[in-house]
């Protein structure tokens, strides 16, 4: 398993853990309340799923968790089981599908490696030099 693969799995698991914890404690967006931390369980999970940014979001969730649970006891946000299952599935399938399945579904002509991209950029620079001999690049 490559380093990026491990990171992908880590952030997916982190997002699912945050989502399950938030929905278990009825943490959610409280209507009429403003603030950066007033997010739905899905919002917390989505933030935690973002590669590397997820560490900050999950850390913020953990630090504020007790306060969020207190607010949830006053204003519980109940999520139906089917909704929880669908969101959990999407938190798992979408990132993994985009990362692993989409590149395999692209035609070979649409897949370029870094060397091909560098070669194409070099060709573009050469064409620009030929068309604009007096310009500095």
Task: State pLDDT tens for residues 88-100.
Answer: 777 776 666 666 6
pLDDT at position 32? 85
- The answer to whether the CB of 44 falls within 8 A of the CB of 19 is yes
pLDDT at position 72? 92
Question: How confident is residue 121, by pLDDT bands cut at 50, 70 and 90?
Answer: confident
pTM of the model: 0.64
CB burial of 31-41 (b: ≥16 within 10 Å; e: otherwise) equals: eeeeeeeebbb
Q: Which of 46, 18, 31 is nearest to 77 (CA)?
A: 31
Q: pLDDT by residue (tens digit) across 57-84?
A: 999 999 999 999 999 999 998 888 888 8
Mean pLDDT of the chain: 80
């Amino acid at each position: 398993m490559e380093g990026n693969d491990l990171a992908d799995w880590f952030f997916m698991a982190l997002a699912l853990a945050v989502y399950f914890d938030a929905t278990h404690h009825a943490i959610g967006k409280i209507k009429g309340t403003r603030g950066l931390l007033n997010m739905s369980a899905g919002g917390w999970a989505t933030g935690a799923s973002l590669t590397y940014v997820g560490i900050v979001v999950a850390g913020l969730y953990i630090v504020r968790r007790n306060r969020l649970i207190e607010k949830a006891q006053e204003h519980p946000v109940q999520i139906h089981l089917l909704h929880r299952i669908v969101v959990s599935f999407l938190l798992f399938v979408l990132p993994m599908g985009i990362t692993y399945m989409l590149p395999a579904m692209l035609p070979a002509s649409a897949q370029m490696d870094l060397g091909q991209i560098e070669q194409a950029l070099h060709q573009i620079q050469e064409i620009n030099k030929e068309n604009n001999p007096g310009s500095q690049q």
